[in-house]
């Protein structure tokens, strides 16, 4: 296998220690592990971790690359300050009770110079229509009450919070 900048072409994340916050059933943790990252997926819901572990068992390559823990981000802060090269928080900030504290916790587990990746539902009328009315109330794709419109955030507001974070600079 050829290498580019000390990384296998098929494993571009080799050597990267990554935390997947709110990993759910492992939908993002597993592909990141297949790309070579050492992934720790955390979720406060035990059922999510059970599902992730069961799904991971179908791919032996992931056994050593992806680990799941039933815990909160705050638990990780207590035990893992500046431990990760990257933190991924995909579709979880809209569930955080205190977004500023959540961001601070993400930054605390990052190594100096690490990267924080956040994806979230934009706060628009369309996201209310599809994310709450359609997905929760009409089609019941997710349990009613999964999303709280007041916790949705516009990208510009998230960017402002990140820029104002003293640890982010």
The yes-or-no verdict on residue 50 having pLDDT over 70 is yes
In-domain check, residue 47 = yes
Q: Give pLDDT, residue 8.
A: 57
| CATH number assigned to the domain comprising residue 57 | 3.40.50.150
In-domain check, residue 129 = no
Q: What is the mean pLDDT of residues 22-43?
A: 97
Q: What's the whole-model pTM score?
A: 0.86
In-domain check, residue 137 = no
pLDDT band at 134 (very low <50, low <70, confident <90, very high): confident
DSSP per-residue codes, 34-46: HTT-EEEEEES-H
DSSP lists the bridge partners of residue 86 as 18, 115
pLDDT band at 3 (very low <50, low <70, confident <90, very high): very low
Return the HEC string of 74-133: HHHHHHCCCCEEEEEEECCHHHCCCHHHHHHHHHHCEEEEEEEEEECCCCCHHHHHHHHH
pLDDT band at 81 (very low <50, low <70, confident <90, very high): confident
- Quote the domain boundaries for residue 29: 3-120
The yes-or-no verdict on residue 1 having pLDDT over 70 is no
In-domain check, residue 157 = no
In-domain check, residue 11 = yes
In-domain check, residue 145 = no
Q: 88-121: per-residue pLDDT in tens?
A: 999 999 889 999 999 999 999 999 999 999 999 8
Q: Give pLDDT, residue 30.
A: 97
Number of domains in the chain: 1
In-domain check, residue 159 = no
Element (H, E) at 12: none
In-domain check, residue 35 = yes
């Amino acid at each position: 296998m050829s290498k580019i900048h000390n990384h296998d072409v098929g494993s571009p994340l080799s050597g990267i220690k990554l935390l997947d916050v709110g990993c759910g059933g492992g939908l993002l943790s597993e592909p990141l592990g297949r790309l070579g990252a050492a992934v720790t997926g955390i979720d406060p819901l035990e059922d999510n971790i059970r599902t992730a572990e069961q799904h991971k068992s179908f791919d032996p390559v992931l056994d050593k690359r992806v680990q799941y823990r039933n815990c909160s981000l705050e638990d990780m802060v207590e035990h893992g300050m500046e431990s990760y090269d990257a933190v991924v928080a995909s579709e979880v900030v809209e569930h955080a009770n205190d977004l500023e504290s959540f961001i601070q916790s993400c930054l605390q587990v990052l190594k100096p110079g690490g990267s924080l990746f956040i994806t979230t539902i934009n706060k628009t009328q369309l996201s209310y229509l599809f994310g709450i009315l359609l997905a929760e109330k009409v089609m019941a794709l997710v349990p009613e009450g999964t999303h709280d419109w007041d916790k949705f955030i516009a990208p510009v507001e998230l960017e402002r919070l990140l820029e104002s974070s003293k640890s982010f600079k």
